[in-house]
Amino acid sequence: MKPLNQKQQHTHKLSFRKTTLLLGACLLASLVSISANAKQTTKQIRLSSDLATPVLSAGKSQNAYIRVALNGFELNNDEIRTPLNVAIVLDQSSSMAGQKIKQAKQAAKMAVNQLDEGDIVSIITYDSTVNVLVSATNASNKNALFNAINRIKARGNTALFAGTSKGGYEVRNFLSEKRVNRVVLLSDGMANVGPSSPYQLGQLGQALAKDGISVSTIGLGLGYNEDLMTQLANYSDGSHSFVENAADLARIFEQEFGQAKSVVAQDIDIKIILKDGITPIRIVGRDGDIIGNTIVTRINQIYSKQESYVVIEVNIPASQAGTSKNIANVEVNYNNMVANKRFELEDSITASFSESKEEVKEAVNTKVYVSAVKQLANEQRKEAVILRDQGKKDEAKAKLKQSSILLGRSAEYISSDKLRQESLDVQAEADAVAAPSAAEWNKNRKALRAKSYQIEKQQIDKKQRK
């Protein structure tokens, strides 16, 4: 049992466990970074907070959308990347037998191969029970890791909760703010031993997130519970992928580990304080809390050259034309993984009011507008899935059709190709949600849930980007 302030404890524990060589390397690295800091200003993530419509119609109370975006800075090749502390948790239940387990083992080996000496890795498998194949260790002896992976055989049931627990435990043994602490979970089936509801797994994900551990989930085939897998990843902003074909596992693992290696900021607390009678309505598509006029939320990590954002819907009371207003102050507190130091960033948002519709339209911040509309459409996507779950096939389809029309109108309003494409995509989804057969819906549902999760988290699938 660890006391509550375990983060420090783990740091101490780590330094004891490390070989002198590693300790030396670490000292050297920190010396280098200190001297680098002295020479040049530390690279910071970029905070940009904007209204989708910075010029608002005067004389009426209206809802508006704020976007707080964080951009990860670029990592130079000569810079020491953040070391990983990762647990690979693999489903070896009997349903994995055959091609699936073969590909999963291959993918796990590829992932291990991407690791460097400074990284820490553990390998956990679960079926009816859990096995810690390799407890958290330095990734230097890759042959030992490969041999362990080779021993994996499919059998039994799916103790997903326990597998994730042990993965979390292994990561916690080397938990450090200076590492990317992550559990990568692969499953192809329903959790049927131990807690199995999306709520329970979500709670576990949340607890791990509080400790600074993110969970990424990979759903393989058509047998897993996509709600459970997305909930588990949700609180820690881990990634979630739907891999229909086991042959794609290697690519997904590569992507996952490549991303983990590119983390530049972690544990980002965001506080948005609304001003002057402006009231919060909701945080669109992200967990957080609202206290009075203050919105608090967090993002677990930001990757190099990637943008993460939060969209907030607020109500702005009527204002006179020609005036401008401070809408909100934004405070961000984050852990800079290159500087190994926490930093605070601040920004504020202002709006002006006009009676001219042209002026309002002219001033639209296209990028922010697109983000907001995308998130709103995504909410409708989630609602459509719920309707379809309730058997309301037609209503679900109508919901997405409506969403497609809204996207189309917004696309025309700001003449955005991105939104036009999105509108077409949603039209196709309207047919997908109305899939006649249960089997087809099962597959479509996984794709839809994965997509809405990825939009929520601004997760980038390299295949999609290409």
Partner 1 sequence: MGTQLLRNEKVVQEHQLQQLVSSQLREADQIILSYFSELESALLKTPPFARNVNTSKFLTNNADAIRNHILKSPYIENIFILSANGQLLFPNKLNASRKEQEFITQNGSLWSTMDAFHPETPADINSEKQRRTNAEKNDDSSFSVSGALSKLSRGQKSEDLYAEQKSAVANSASLQPPLAEKKRKKVNTGHGWTVWRTGTETHIFFWFWDSNNQLTGLKLANAFWLAELINQLPDDRNAVDFIGDARIQLINEKQTVMYQWGQFEESLIENIQPKGQRLLGHPLDGWRLAYFAPNSNDDSPQWLLYLMFILIISAVLASLGFYMFREYRRDMRTAEQRVTFVNQVSHELKTPLTNICLYAELIEAEVDDNDGVGVKNHENSKIHKYSKVLTTESQRLGRLINNVLSFSQSQKKEQRIEPQEGSIDNTILAAVEMFNPAFEVKNIQIDMDLKASKPAMFDHNALEQIINNLLGNIEKYASHGKYARIESTQTDNTTQIRIQDHGPGIDKKLSKRLFEPFFRGNSKLTEGVSGTGIGLSIAKELCQLHGGDLIVEQNIKKGASFLITINTPQAASQATSQITPQK
Residues that bind partner 1 (CB under 8 A): 1-4, 128-132, 156-157, 159, 161-162, 164-166, 168-169, 193-195, 200-201, 203-204, 206-208, 210-211, 289-292, 296, 298
Q: Which is nearer to partner 1, 95 or 459 (CB)?
A: 95
For residues 201 and 207, the answer to whether their CB atoms sit within 8 Å is no
Q: Across-strand partners of 88?
A: 123, 184
Shortest distance in whole angstroms from residue 269 CB to partner 1? 8
Q: Which is nearer to partner 1, 200 or 315 (CB)?
A: 200
Shortest distance in whole angstroms from residue 261 CB to partner 1? 25
For residues 312 and 272, the answer to whether their CB atoms sit within 8 Å is yes
Shortest distance in whole angstroms from residue 267 CB to partner 1? 10
Shortest distance in whole angstroms from residue 335 CB to partner 1? 13
Q: Which is nearer to partner 1, 48 or 128 (CB)?
A: 128
d(CA 449, CA 222): 13
Taking every pair of C-alpha atoms in the chain, what is the biggest distance, in angstroms?
A: 72
Contacts of 466 (CB under 8 A, 6+ apart): none
Shortest distance in whole angstroms from residue 194 CB to partner 1? 5
C-alpha distances in Å from residue 249, one per residue of 85, 142, 232, 376: 21, 20, 19, 31
Q: Which is nearer to partner 1, 81 or 172 (CB)?
A: 172
Q: Which is nearer to partner 1, 199 or 413 (CB)?
A: 199
Q: Which is nearer to partner 1, 78 or 289 (CB)?
A: 289
d(CA 312, CA 333): 18
Shortest distance in whole angstroms from residue 130 CB to partner 1? 5
Q: 275: helix, coil or strand? A: coil
d(CA 147, CA 161): 25
Q: 27: helix, coil or strand? A: helix
Shortest distance in whole angstroms from residue 1 CB to partner 1? 3
Cα dihedral 122, 126, 132, 137, rounded to 10, equals: 0
Shortest distance in whole angstroms from residue 204 CB to partner 1? 4
Shortest distance in whole angstroms from residue 228 CB to partner 1? 12
For residues 36 and 271, the answer to whether their CB atoms sit within 8 Å is no
Q: Which is nearer to partner 1, 205 or 221 (CB)?
A: 205
Contacts of 404 (CB under 8 A, 6+ apart): 423, 424, 426, 427, 430
Q: What are phi and psi of 314, to 5 degrees?
A: -130, 160
d(CA 403, CA 423): 8
Q: Which is nearer to partner 1, 180 or 246 (CB)?
A: 180
Identify the CA nearest to 50 among candidates 68, 64, 63.
68
Shortest distance in whole angstroms from residue 296 CB to partner 1? 8
Which helix (H) or strand (E) covers residue 133, if one does?
strand 130-138
Q: Which is nearer to partner 1, 161 or 353 (CB)?
A: 161
Q: Which is nearer to partner 1, 213 or 384 (CB)?
A: 213
For residues 211 and 175, the answer to whether their CB atoms sit within 8 Å is yes
d(CA 16, CA 173): 12
For residues 219 and 198, the answer to whether their CB atoms sit within 8 Å is no
- DSSP state letters, 251-274: HHHHHHHHHHTTEEEEEEEEEEEE
